[in-house]
Amino acid sequence: MSALPARPRVAVVGATGVVGRVMLDILHERSFPASEIVAVASARSAGRRIAFGGQTLEVRALEEGVFEGIDLVLLDTPDDIARTWAPVAAAAGAIVVDNSAAWRMDRDVPLVCPEVNASALATLTTGIIASPNCTTLGVVVPLGALHRRFGLRKVVVSSYQSVSGAGRGGIDELREQVDKLAGDPGAIEALASGTARDLLPPGELFAAPIAFNVVPQAGSVREQGYTSEEVKLATETRKIMGLPDLEVTATCVRVPTVVGHGAAVWARFAAAVDIGEALRCLDEAPGVALTELPTPQLSAGRDPSYVGRVRPDLGDPHALCFFCACDNLRKGAALNAVQIAEHLLPT
Ligand SMILES: NC(=O)c1ccc[n+]([C@@H]2O[C@H](COP(=O)([O-])OP(=O)(O)OC[C@H]3O[C@@H](n4cnc5c(N)ncnc54)[C@H](OP(=O)(O)O)[C@@H]3O)[C@@H](O)[C@H]2O)c1
């Protein structure tokens, strides 16, 4: 489908954030055929200059009239801003690809991972398309391929999510705590004895100190003890896969990595899983790179969902285990949105 002109005018909203900055890099790297790119952020950032390719763009404030003449809006802002401004942009005639959680579960908004359900773009009626959560994307790219071959029935995921998943504030919180401990010669002993807690500045974004720690609560606590990230992973996976009854259970954990979300996945299928066939299927899957050791550091700055440690469930011939790692700012957000936009260009 071609909902966009051949040389669209593009607005990147949230251009000063961690996703927005990567969005600009990816538009440049992929030579997206924009006739113009407008960088937009809050009024706090108006007038700042940010890099795009070899040039700089002056940031405009998000305000009435900013979408005039714009064909494509790539929205990389907090949920409440996206909830308010996506309909404004759509009413002004733009197609909106939103990276926030504001519209993902809206029944009239397609939620798209192009490797899995590009066909959902044909259902576009509101002008708003949602891009999935970063952890969901890294997992559904390999799972989608396995589902097409074996028929997915149940998934159990444990995530290892980097601090940039919480935006630039997440990186700042880790940096502040690491700097504090790194400047203290007794830090290792303090960590070993449990007194490091007293040395650290209080965190705002994470539920416990994140430096040299593992925090088994990513997102806010919701129903029945699950967190918002765990609920998103379940509901979004069902919507993208078109499997409303899919059994999904997740435990989402924040770890002190900077970029790249890891996930340990156990999946059960309708058909028995031959390990050689599963590996072939993953090897041929678009967006997947099979590798021996898929770490967040390997994924950072790169496009694929890296998949490895693929092995059978020794007690269940229908189940498979693997680990995947994916750059949460690229495939987990900006790249996926640009891929969606590319699908909307005339061929
Ligand atoms: N980080 C990830 O891995 C990831 C992955 C998938 C989806 N997402 C989603 O993508 C969105 C952006 O996340 P992020 O990580 O890039 O966050 P971020 O680093 O905190 O950046 C937020 C951006 O939103 C802008 N913004 C904030 N309030 C605004 C307002 N009132 N009006 C206009 N712009 C405003 C900020 O502009 P100022 O600089 O002017 O404040 C900044 O450009 C969020 O919805 C997030 O959930 C993030």
Structure confidence by residue, pLDDT tens digits, 137-175: 999 999 999 999 999 999 999 999 999 999 999 999 999
Candidates 113, 147, 252, 261; catalytic one: 261
- Please indicate whether residue 336, judged by its CB atom, sits closer than 6 Å to ligand 1: no
As given in the structure block, the two tokens for residue 292 are 């021996």
Supply the DSSP symbol for 54: T
**CA 78 to CA 168: how far, in whole Å?**
12
- Please indicate whether residue 76, judged by its CB atom, sits closer than 6 Å to ligand 1: yes
Residue type, 74: L
- Please indicate whether residue 167, judged by its CB atom, sits closer than 6 Å to ligand 1: yes
Q: Give residue 203's pLDDT.
A: 86
Give residue 341's region: left, alpha or beta (phi > 0; psi -120 to 50).
Answer: alpha
Supply the DSSP symbol for 227: B
Answer yes or no: are the C-beta atoms of 32 and 344 closer than 8 Å: no
Q: Give residue 76's pLDDT.
A: 98
Whether 113 sits among the annotated catalytic residues: the reply is no
Q: Give residue 2's pLDDT.
A: 61
**CA 187 to CA 243: how far, in whole Å?**
49
pTM above 0.95, yes or no: yes
As given in the structure block, the two tokens for residue 88 are 């404004």
- Please indicate whether residue 86, judged by its CB atom, sits closer than 6 Å to ligand 1: no
171 CA distance to ligand 1 middle (Å): 13
Q: Give residue 185's pLDDT.
A: 92
- Please indicate whether residue 77, judged by its CB atom, sits closer than 6 Å to ligand 1: yes
132 CA distance to ligand 1 middle (Å): 15
Dihedral sign (CA 84, 90, 92, 95):
positive
Cα 95–Cα 231–Cα 287 angle in degrees, nearest 5: 55
Q: Are strands 55-58 and 305-313 parallel, antiparallel or unpaired?
A: unpaired
Candidates 134, 252, 324, 326; catalytic one: 134
Answer yes or no: are the C-beta atoms of 263 and 138 closer than 8 Å: yes
Q: Give residue 38's pLDDT.
A: 98
Nearest by Cα to 165 from 115, 112, 126, 205: 205
| pLDDT string in tens for the chain (347-residue length) | 569 999 999 999 999 999 999 999 999 999 999 999 999 999 999 999 999 998 999 999 999 999 999 999 999 999 999 999 999 999 999 999 999 999 999 999 999 999 999 999 999 999 999 999 999 999 999 999 999 999 999 999 999 999 999 999 999 999 999 999 998 999 999 999 999 888 887 789 999 999 999 999 999 999 999 999 999 999 999 999 999 999 999 999 999 999 999 999 999 999 999 999 999 999 999 999 999 999 999 999 999 999 999 999 999 999 999 999 999 999 999 999 999 999 999 99
Nearest 10 degrees: Cα torsion 276, 141, 287, 40: -170
Whether 261 sits among the annotated catalytic residues: the reply is yes
170 CA distance to ligand 1 middle (Å): 12
**CA 123 to CA 14: how far, in whole Å?**
26
Counting ligand 1 atoms within 8 A of each CB, the residue from 38, 40, 76, 81 with the most, and so the one to mutate, is: 76
Q: Give residue 330's pLDDT.
A: 98
Counting ligand 1 atoms within 8 A of each CB, the residue from 77, 129, 254, 330 with the most, and so the one to mutate, is: 77
**CA 98 to CA 129: how far, in whole Å?**
6
Name the residue at shortest CA distance from atom 20 of ligand 1: 167
Structure confidence by residue, pLDDT tens digits, 292-326: 999 999 999 999 999 999 999 999 999 999 999 99
Q: Give residue 34's pLDDT.
A: 98
Q: Give residue 80's pLDDT.
A: 98
